[in-house]
Chain A
């Protein structure tokens, strides 16, 4: 039923895109629909179909955006995937009218933390986000929360851009389920909502300081530091904090080619709640792993690009084993982002946990994505 409903909504939206292109942005919002089907092969033993090519419809994104009035803009991203229809983002931004160049954003959004997290997967040259982000950041597919963000462009001489931002978030994505101890006095026996009060709200906070400097006419670099903190278990009062330092460099090597290098280093500080059945109290252990990724993407013409990625990070476990991953990717775009074919390979080499008798097997994954979009194409932001 929900699948039929989702498909009916998609059909209506597609009809809307086709019917009103000339008026888009005048009285109607700009509407873009983006498909991302993919083929995948992996030798991961935990995958339902290891060593077989699987096809997946991927996620369909429907993007709406428009000015709401002279001061504010609205933005919605709805996604349709095999697991149903969801609001991925929905927020307003006050772009002008506030004193001193402040901007205010409110609603549900991909949190402006680090450099890669705010980007939608279709804008990233590889299929899966770096393992280190998946391991350290709150949220299942991205650090995506409901909240309020205020940012200020700090006036400096010259053209260096420095922006400071702070967010207050609902904080639900920080919750991590605690393993049931099995003891009869463990509050989890009553379920997570009653026992660990997992449904109670606890705000999370984000701070970001980001600077951009230009190199010549078109090239530039960006440096950013960000930090976030939230409660992962309300009853135990344990918290998760993540710190991030990001760097991005884009160098135009000719009128139509450029090299992009991007890296992030993350530090996770997570308190993990447990249960001491003898003393009938929560226990707290702490993990503080470190990790990061680096990728380089060379766009050697407006149509073609190729690149490599590398990451190395500690698992957020007590022994903090070091995992590594390598990857390579190539892409072809027929005409800007209207139709792109992206092939990438990723090899994850898990570290050997303390006491293990043999090394875990490396996992290879090859993904071929087709990204196609209809509707207006927005300007690319650095």
Chain B
């Protein structure tokens, strides 16, 4: 037993001495909870950053399991971009587990005006976020706010390129505005702008582009659809000719199939997050999702 402890102690001592941050040569390593924040960081940071993301767009960002491999990745990062508003609380476990005392944690919701902020909240309302709906990145104008926050954070860590970060954030804001205008025009041309969503993830998208969410498949957030609730949606769909159910890829198909059978609506499967942590992916995702909703794409899936 003593031998085991001595060996362990020797190994630990040796590793403490050689445990130095493994940074990519000359680049800031930026970790992000979701691909959207990583994509924005990739645009703002340009060649000066290397970005990676924790949650995949194909999985539910509400429920991310804290894997030790994530902690290892974040232990080598300089900046961590959190969604905030209580969505990615799992990120705290990863950040703490990374033991990275030099990590700058940026809450990207800091300057966002949240929608659906409840005046009071309790668990009978389902999985309601007390600080407001956290899916704010689904409005490109909020993406511009986030880009500014990211530019400021990168500038703190890398003052030599502060001006470049600021300029790229400004350019991103212009591109986000173009995406916003383009999307508004597309939705304005839709004969019916009412849609159903599965979960209340798409509130910011609807608010930004002029869509109306006529109902959600979940009776309350986090609770799977019930027969009674789906029948109510059938009635609404028939009355208002709701053409689309917008659904995340990780939810069950049953409700969508039922509504489609009963009312003829289309089920559009799209992730609330863009498909990769690469520059440009974030804004392209809006065009893709809106074209799917408008029926201008033959593919019924995004991500």
A97 CB to nearest B CB, Å? 5
Q: Is B59's CB within 8 Å of the partner chain A?
A: yes
Residues B72 and A159 in contact, CB atoms below 8 Å apart: yes
Q: How long is the Cα–Cα vector from A380 to B99 in the complex, in angstroms?
A: 18
Residues A379 and B93 in contact, CB atoms below 8 Å apart: yes
Instruction: Scan A149-161; emit 1 where CB is below 8 A from any B CB, else 0.
Output: 0101111100111
Interfacial residues of chain B within 246-269, with CB under 8 A of chain A in the complex: 249-250, 252
Residues A212 and B68 in contact, CB atoms below 8 Å apart: yes
Residues A380 and B72 in contact, CB atoms below 8 Å apart: no
Q: Which of B4, B69, B90, B224 meets A160, CB within 8 Å?
A: B69
- CB closest residue in chain B, given A168: B5
Interfacial residues of chain A within 141-155, with CB under 8 A of chain B in the complex: 150, 152-155
Residues B222 and A335 in contact, CB atoms below 8 Å apart: yes
Residues of chain B within 8 A (CB-CB) of A259 are none
Residues B75 and A153 in contact, CB atoms below 8 Å apart: yes
Of B16-24, B134-142, B144-152, B187-195, the one touching chain A: B16-24
Q: Which of B1, B56, B89, B252 meets A227, CB within 8 Å?
A: B1
Q: How long is the Cα–Cα vector from A331 to B197 in the complex, in angstroms?
A: 29
Residues of chain A within 8 A (CB-CB) of B101 are 71, 96-98
Residues of chain A within 8 A (CB-CB) of B249 are 255
Q: Is A374's CB within 8 Å of the partner chain B?
A: yes
Residues B99 and A220 in contact, CB atoms below 8 Å apart: no
- CB closest residue in chain B, given A336: B222
Q: Which of A161, A335, A382 meets B72, CB within 8 Å?
A: A161
Of A99-107, A182-190, A349-357, the one touching chain B: A99-107
Residues B100 and A96 in contact, CB atoms below 8 Å apart: yes
Q: How long is the Cα–Cα vector from A207 to B6 in the complex, in angstroms?
A: 10
Residues of chain B within 8 A (CB-CB) of A220 are 67-69
A137 CB to nearest B CB, Å? 16
Instruction: Scan A303-315; emit 1 where CB is below 8 A from any B CB, else 0.
Output: 1000000000000
Residues A21 and B12 in contact, CB atoms below 8 Å apart: no
Residues of chain B within 8 A (CB-CB) of A159 are 69, 72-73
Residues A335 and B19 in contact, CB atoms below 8 Å apart: no
Residues B68 and A100 in contact, CB atoms below 8 Å apart: no
**Contact of A101 with B121 at beta-carbon distance under 8 Å, contacts A335-B222, A336-B222, A378-B93 already known:** no
Q: How long is the Cα–Cα vector from A21 to B97 in the complex, in angstroms?
A: 25
Residues B93 and A205 in contact, CB atoms below 8 Å apart: no
Question: Secondary structure at chain B's binding surface: helix, strand, loop or mixed?
Answer: loop
Task: Report how many residues on chain B are interfacial, defined by Cβ distance under 8 Å.
Answer: 50
Residues A212 and B75 in contact, CB atoms below 8 Å apart: no
Residues B12 and A96 in contact, CB atoms below 8 Å apart: no
Interfacial residues of chain A within 76-111, with CB under 8 A of chain B in the complex: 95-103
Residues A213 and B69 in contact, CB atoms below 8 Å apart: yes
Residues of chain B within 8 A (CB-CB) of A98 are 99, 101
Q: How long is the Cα–Cα vector from A90 to B8 in the complex, in angstroms?
A: 26
Q: Which of A73, A303, A338, A382 meets B67, CB within 8 Å?
A: A382
Q: Is A241's CB within 8 Å of the partner chain B?
A: yes
Q: How long is the Cα–Cα vector from A155 to B90 in the complex, in angstroms?
A: 23
Q: Is A6's CB within 8 Å of the partner chain B?
A: no
Q: Is B171's CB within 8 Å of the partner chain A?
A: no
Task: Report how many residues on chain A are interfacial, defined by Cβ distance under 8 Å.
Answer: 53
Residues A154 and B15 in contact, CB atoms below 8 Å apart: yes
Residues A100 and B223 in contact, CB atoms below 8 Å apart: no
Residues of chain A within 8 A (CB-CB) of B96 are 73, 95-96
Residues of chain A within 8 A (CB-CB) of B16 are 99-102, 152
Residues B1 and A255 in contact, CB atoms below 8 Å apart: no
Q: Which of A100, A102, A302, A335 meets B126, CB within 8 Å?
A: A335
- CB closest residue in chain B, given A302: B63
Q: Is A2's CB within 8 Å of the partner chain B?
A: no
- CB closest residue in chain A, given B7: A207
Q: Is B9's CB within 8 Å of the partner chain A?
A: yes
Residues A152 and B12 in contact, CB atoms below 8 Å apart: yes
**Contact of A214 with B93 at beta-carbon distance under 8 Å, contacts A155-B22, A207-B4, A338-B123 already known:** no
**Contact of A205 with B12 at beta-carbon distance under 8 Å, contacts A155-B19, A218-B65, A378-B93 already known:** no
Interfacial residues of chain A within 237-291, with CB under 8 A of chain B in the complex: 241, 255-256
- CB closest residue in chain A, given B15: A154
Residues A100 and B15 in contact, CB atoms below 8 Å apart: yes
Instruction: Scan A352-382; emit 1 where CB is below 8 A from any B CB, else 0.
Output: 0000000000000000000000101011111
Given A73-B96, A255-B59, A255-B60, output 7 extra A-B contacts at Cβ < 8 Å: A153-B99, A159-B69, A207-B8, A255-B249, A336-B222, A379-B66, A380-B90
Pick the 7 closest A-B CB pairs, nearest first.
Answer: A379-B90, A161-B68, A100-B16, A212-B68, A159-B69, A100-B19, A255-B250
